[in-house]
């Protein structure tokens, strides 16, 4: 009788280990590969690549974490974040955009000798309807989408695998900052470097906010809102 119980217990433990390995390693790895393909292989998705990647990551998180899927991505305690979302985040976004426009962009342009490519944004100059649509799109695709992809998924899973010790944290922030810059190839080498550094700053903010994604979403969204206003007035 004891042997049968031990055998059943052993089989149960084996199944639990296999299920755990599948959920914590295999599914995140497959998701990361598919997301990588979405961003590197032309698939005709265009500006909707972020949205497709985000939906895929949410589905993956539901499979892995069930009812805690959104919490696993850093989307938790929004009520506690409300004040920061609507007050501190906009102020930080203004400061970050000022740094971007007056320090980072001129500095990187000087080093590369190449102006950032804003040609894709010319269509929004003086075009209020287009800017209104873009405003909604950037909050869905960039603020929510990019932050869920690069911070909620990649950075959080990196932390789960390697922890958040000093070395792991530096690698985490730099690695996904660089990859974030890479997907901005349409802005030229200057745009890629600037986006990479901006991504690293947002990564550091994510860490300092104890991996709560709401504040990052707000900073990213308000930053891009300022960018849309600059596009409308032809400043960018």
User: Tell me, what's the pLDDT at 19?
Assistant: 62
User: Tell me, what's the pLDDT at 14?
Assistant: 46
Task: Assign 5 a pLDDT band (cuts: 50, 70, 90).
Answer: low
Dist. CA 176–CA 202, nearest whole Å: 10
Q: Which of 147, 157, 140 is nearest to 212 (CA)?
A: 147
pLDDT tens digits, one per residue of 60-96 = 999 999 999 999 999 998 888 888 899 999 999 999 9
**Eight-state DSSP code of residue 99:** H
16-30, 32-46, 80-94, 112-126: least confident range: 16-30
Residue 3 has pLDDT above 60, yes or no: no
Dist. CA 123–CA 144, nearest whole Å: 24
Average pLDDT of the segment spanning 195-206: 97
Dist. CA 52–CA 141, nearest whole Å: 9
User: Tell me, what's the pLDDT at 52?
Assistant: 96
Residue 13 has pLDDT above 70, yes or no: no
Q: What angle do CA 132, 194, 106 make, to 5 degrees?
A: 95
The model carries a pTM of 0.89
Q: Do 89 and 212 form a contact (C-beta atoms < 8 A)?
A: no
Helices (H) and strands (E) in the chain, counts: 13, 0
**Eight-state DSSP code of residue 176:** H
Q: What angle do CA 90, 105, 89 make, to 5 degrees?
A: 10
Half-sphere exposure of 128 (CA within 13 A, CB side): 0
Q: How far is the CA of 188 from the CAs of 53, 109, 154, 176, in angstroms?
A: 23, 11, 24, 18
């Amino acid at each position: 009788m004891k042997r049968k119980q031990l055998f059943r217990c052993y089989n149960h433990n084996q199944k639990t280990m296999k299920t755990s390995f599948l959920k914590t390693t295999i599914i995140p790895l497959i998701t990361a590969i598919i997301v990588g393909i979405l961003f590197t292989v032309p698939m005709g998705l265009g500006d909707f690549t972020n949205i497709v990647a985000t939906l895929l990551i949410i589905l993956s998180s539901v499979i892995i974490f069930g009812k805690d899927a959104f919490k696993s991505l850093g989307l938790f305690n929004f009520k506690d974040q409300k004040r920061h979302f609507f007050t501190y985040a906009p102020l930080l976004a203004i400061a970050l955009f000022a740094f971007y426009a007056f320090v980072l962009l001129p500095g990187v342009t000087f080093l590369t000798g190449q102006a950032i490519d804003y040609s894709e944004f010319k269509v929004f100059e003086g075009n209020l309807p287009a800017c209104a649509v873009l405003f909604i799109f950037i909050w869905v695709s960039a603020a929510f989408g990019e932050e869920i992809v690069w911070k909620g998924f990649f950075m959080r899973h990196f932390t789960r695998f390697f922890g958040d010790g000093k070395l792991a944290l530096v690698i985490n922030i730099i690695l996904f900052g660089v990859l974030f810059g890479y997907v901005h190839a349409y802005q030229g080498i200057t745009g890629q470097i600037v986006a990479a550094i901006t991504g690293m700053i947002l990564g550091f903010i994510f860490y300092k906010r104890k991996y709560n994604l709401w504040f990052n979403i707000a900073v990213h969204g308000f930053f891009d809102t300022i960018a849309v206003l600059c596009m409308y007035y032809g400043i960018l």
